[in-house]
Amino acid sequence: MSAPIAAGGSGPVLTDMAVASDGTGAVTYLADVDGTRHAFLARLTDGALATARELDASLPAGESSDPVVAAGPGGELVAAFAHGGNLYTASTSSTADALSAPAWIASGASSPSLSLNQLGQGYLAYTQTNDSDSDVDVDFWNGAGWRATSFWQPSFTLDSNCDAQAPEAVNTGIAGTDAGGSGGAPAVVAAHDGVGLVAWGEGGHIYSRRVWGTCASADVEQDDLATYAPTGASTAWTERSADDPVVASDGDSTYQGVAFQEQVASGAQTEERVFLARQVSDFAPAVTAVDGFDLAGADATGGATEPAMAMNEVGSGAVAAVGVSAGQVVVTPLANQGVPTSAQVLGTTDATGSGTQLAVTGEGNQSSMVVWIGATTSGDPEVVERYAMDLGAYHAAVVLSGTDSGTVDAGGGVLAASDGPGDGLVAWAQAPASGSGEETIELAGVLGPPHAPSLRPEPRLTSRERPTLRWHAATEDFGPVTYDVYLMGRRLASTSGLSLRTARPLAAGTYSWHVVAVNGADERATSATRRFTVKRYVKPKHKRRHKRGRKRKDTRKTAWTKAASRR
């Protein structure tokens, strides 16, 4: 766990967390300063939070809301937040640069959602309220600035004709008048190939549309179900309304998903359910219940809410939900290509919290992590995580929070995100132990093994009795790595450097060695094994020297002299 940072205000509520493939990123949250709600951002580097910055400090006095952030590699960040009825963004291109001053985007705008891909391009979706209705707009971030989205037509060429069209809301043509309104705030995700997916609620339904640069697809998908027949039910349930969409995508946008909450009814009985609309290219979405409600042992009264979802490069990940009456955490792992598998009950959330109770993130290639705010046996809130490797069973629950620095503020929520190799970070708000003092933002790492170090080829043959062994650094985005060096299967020493000289002289012979990289979570990765040979240097014998004053006879000269005298 890294050192906590001061929240900078009271009652912090975490709103968003983004981590790029290289481990850089940020956390955003709201906190009260002198009775006014302000937006904050704390940058992430090497698995640690930097001092938080007040995003709206340069703006006129007023309340802020909905701060969100997206991260690209190299420390690129784009943040958005609402303040005084306007939507603003701030950005930076690298860890070496400061965040820019807020830039105005739109008036009457709220509920922003941001996503960047690994190329540093992405989308901003938000709700814009007009005189009598509201729309959902999407802007494209090209790495340097924002460009509004228009509609795709078959005759258009990308990045030319779409730019020439007047910007239009992505919900244009839908009969509703409350797009992105209460319960239907937009959600957007950017795939690595540049294609984005935006989903929103309108008129009690869930809609989604693909975007590519400044072009929006001609087709709009309706993702919610008109009727649903639960397993073993004699009659189908009828939809009342749907809201709370979340989105995720694989790397090339072939497999994308929209998870959402839907209220269904059968006679006088109504229940909340969580569904997944799995979208494959241009085919109509296949909708599946993913809340485990049909499972024995899952919440059987009231249904489930609070959908959360994540996918990685190959489309695997997880969808999670929280039971309404029992607060059970139910997760449905997603296999490659976003295919839902069997739901599992992982634990129970803390029913007293008013913030986000659940977070899920895709890890590595086929792994996922689910995090929630649970409760101790004495009823105190705690942050709990469960991690699954390669679509296997989730390991036993691990409590990430501690009580040394205070207690978890359940109303502050919990967030989770992961980098490219599969290491995860979890953030939450912590109240001071004494009941007085400033609240903090806590951060814990859920780390997989670092990448294995590679050994340098030298030495292969050496005459040195104490040779120096060298290796290349192991990759680890979050925190330092130490190296355990082994010679002939026995540990020589531990070092944070990239070389080690043997402490004792080695006898002549052949030796094997390897290095084990260890990160802050005591996860280990072992290098390949190499061999080297120590060959003793034998001092050559010197020629016998003649005693001083005696000269060696030059026979060649004597022979020549005799031959010359005969002539």
Q: How would you classify the pairing of strands 499-501 and 482-487?
A: unpaired
Give the pLDDT band of residue 562 (cuts 50, 70, 90).
Answer: very low
Q: Please, are residues 116 and 133 in contact by the beta-carbon 8 Å criterion?
A: no
* Residue of 232 and 313 predicted with greater confidence: 313
Q: What share of the chain is helix, strand, coil (3-state, %, to 5)?
A: 5, 50, 45
Whole-number Å distance between alpha carbons of 533 and 468? 13
> Residue 54's pLDDT is what?
97
Q: What is the pLDDT of residues 430-446, one digit of tens each?
A: 998 776 778 999 998 87
What are the angstrom distances between the C-alpha of 314 and each of 220, 337, 362, 447, 503? 25, 6, 10, 20, 47
* Residue of 26 and 363 predicted with greater confidence: 26
The stretch 420-438 carries a mean pLDDT of 83
* Residue of 136 and 214 predicted with greater confidence: 136
Q: Which CATH superfamily is domain 461-534 in?
A: Immunoglobulins (2.60.40.10)
Whole-number Å distance between alpha carbons of 299 and 520? 37
The stretch 437-462 carries a mean pLDDT of 87
Q: Which range (371-375, 457-461, 547-551) has the least confidence?
A: 547-551
> Residue 217's pLDDT is what?
84
* Residue of 294 and 114 predicted with greater confidence: 114
* Residue of 411 and 284 predicted with greater confidence: 411
Q: CA end-to-end span of the chain, whole Å?
A: 102
* Residue of 29 and 237 predicted with greater confidence: 29
Q: Where are the domains of the chain?
A: 461-534
> Residue 435's pLDDT is what?
66
The stretch 343-360 carries a mean pLDDT of 77
CB count within 10 Å of CB 386 equals: 21
* Residue of 152 and 138 predicted with greater confidence: 138
Q: What is the pLDDT of residues 94-147, one digit of tens each?
A: 999 999 999 999 999 999 999 999 889 999 999 999 877 899 999 999 988 898
Q: Please, are residues 110 and 154 in contact by the beta-carbon 8 Å criterion?
A: no
* Residue of 126 and 343 predicted with greater confidence: 126
Q: What is the pLDDT of residues 47-75, one digit of tens each?
A: 889 999 999 999 999 999 999 999 999 99
- Which residue, among 247, 73, 82, 212, has the nearest Cα to 142 in the 3D structure? 212
Q: How buried is 448 (Cβ within 10 angstroms: 0-12 exposed, 13-18 middle, 19+ buried)? A: buried
Whole-number Å distance between alpha carbons of 291 and 303? 8
Whole-number Å distance between alpha carbons of 73 and 38? 27
> Residue 376's pLDDT is what?
86
> Residue 216's pLDDT is what?
85
Q: Say yes or no to pLDDT of 159 above 50.
A: no
Give the pLDDT band of residue 540 (cuts 50, 70, 90).
Answer: low
> Residue 181's pLDDT is what?
87
Q: Say yes or no to pLDDT of 29 above 80.
A: yes
Q: Say yes or no to pLDDT of 157 above 50.
A: no
In the predicted model, what is the mean pLDDT of the chain?
A: 86
Q: Say yes or no to pLDDT of 180 above 50.
A: yes
Name the token pair of 183.
């319960």
Q: Say yes or no to pLDDT of 364 above 90.
A: no
Q: Say yes or no to pLDDT of 92 above 90.
A: yes
Q: What is the pLDDT of residues 493-520, one digit of tens each?
A: 999 999 999 999 999 999 999 999 998 7
> Residue 544's pLDDT is what?
59
